[in-house]
Amino acid sequence: MFEVYKKELKELLRDKKTLMFVVALPVLIFPIIFAVMAFISSQAALEADQKVNTYVIINGDYAPEFTDKVFYHKSFELYKGSKTFNTIEELKAGVTAGDIDMGIYLPSNAEDTLDSGEQSKWEVVFNDAKSINFLFDRVKELAQEYSDVLQAKKLKSFGIEDSTHKAILTPIEVVKVDTADKRENLGEKIGGFLPYLLIPLVLMGATYPAIDLGAGEKERGTLETLLLTPITRTELVLGKFITLLTTSIASTTITVVSMGCWVAVALAFADLDFIKTAFSTLAVTDLLMIFVLLLPLAAIFSSLALAISIYARTFKEAQNYMAPLSMGVFFPIIISIMPNMELTAKTAFIPVTNVALAIKDIIKGTVDYTFVGLIFLATALIAGALLAFCVKWFNREDVLFR
């Protein structure tokens, strides 16, 4: 068995493609992803912040102070084209056609409306499809400033002192006292993202070498030679399985260590506040726990990948069979980020989902160690059952020589 293991491992180490998928990709994936995310998000926010939007205000003389504030704001520029806008429909058509970025409709004089005891409803027409859009917030802020002035003036006309305005307008203030710390808050958001990176990399560490160890042997015609050697088929399968487990664990180790190193680099040098806040309290023991949880998962992937590869006739056929396996791994990860999905005694037995939930809780700093033990036990049992199936699969002549 160990001779098979040494032979397979030596051949894999000579393959540059295997080294790229098992070593290079996990090392580079985190800095590339973090750098791309930071660059894209900062560029998008900067572009949205600096963009000057053309606008039109219908009935601007109803609120001259507000109209002046919009006119002199650095983010707005009055429309200077030949088209005229007098109704909401015309504003909508102008925004849709790209003539203006925003239209504001003032239906009445806000001060007169207030005197009559009614509320003035202003309408802002714009395209809100963009995810980063400061346009409406800026208009709302300027309108709120004008609204506050009208409000204060009205209260003063009733003889109410400035010092009591706040208490009269808001008799009760509800204050949120959040028991979750910053790590828990950010961990809930970022922790669900990490399994998307870690678990597929663990799978990749097993699948690519597995194709060569099963279907590759068939295609090269060396499987028959292996079967003639004085070792049992069980030892042969175990030798190949341990080889795959080694590459998958190597990929897992490199992935976790790479994540730790790059996070440390980000904490030391980069000005990424959200990463610093989220990972500043992440200890080495937390990374070790993530690593331990990924180990039995690596064994499951190694067994599945080897069984598929043994069944395939050729290298290409094995690649086709591996594709559904890769897609299938994402489904349980998606379940883990669904609303209100938590690590419980029940979810601790759902393969892959349990590990994804546990990783999220580890990042949040709220993981229950009892559930970690349950996950490790459940995943190890599934891995053992799949390995037993793999051995039985390899002993069938109709599978080996299809």
Per-residue pLDDT of the chain (402 residues; tens, 9 = 90+): 677 777 777 776 677 766 676 667 666 766 676 677 767 777 777 777 778 889 999 999 999 999 999 999 988 999 998 888 999 999 999 999 989 999 999 998 988 888 888 888 999 999 887 655 678 888 999 999 999 988 888 888 888 887 888 888 888 888 888 776 666 776 776 677 778 878 888 888 888 888 888 888 888 777 777 777 788 888 888 888 888 888 888 877 887 777 777 767 766 665 556 556 656 666 778 888 888 888 888 889 989 988 888 888 887 888 888 888 878 888 888 888 787 788 888 888 888 999 988 988 888 888 888 898 899 999 999 999 998 998 888 888 777 776
What six digits make up the tokens of 133? 């859009």
Question: Between the CA atoms of 352, 357, 362 and 368, what dihedral angle is there, to the nearest 10 degrees?
Answer: -100
Whether the Cβ atoms of residue 256 and residue 291 lie closer than 8 Å to each other = yes
- In this prediction the pTM is 0.68
Question: Contact at 8 Å (CB) between 337 and 164?
Answer: no
The three-class DSSP label of residue 86 is coil
- Check: CB of residue 343 under 8 Å from CB of residue 368: yes
Strands of the sheet with 102-105, listed across from one edge: 76-78, 53-58, 102-105, 123-126
CA 79, CA 95: separation in Å to the nearest integer? 12
Q: How far apart are CA 344 and CA 224, in angstroms?
A: 48
Structure tokens at 193: 């993202």
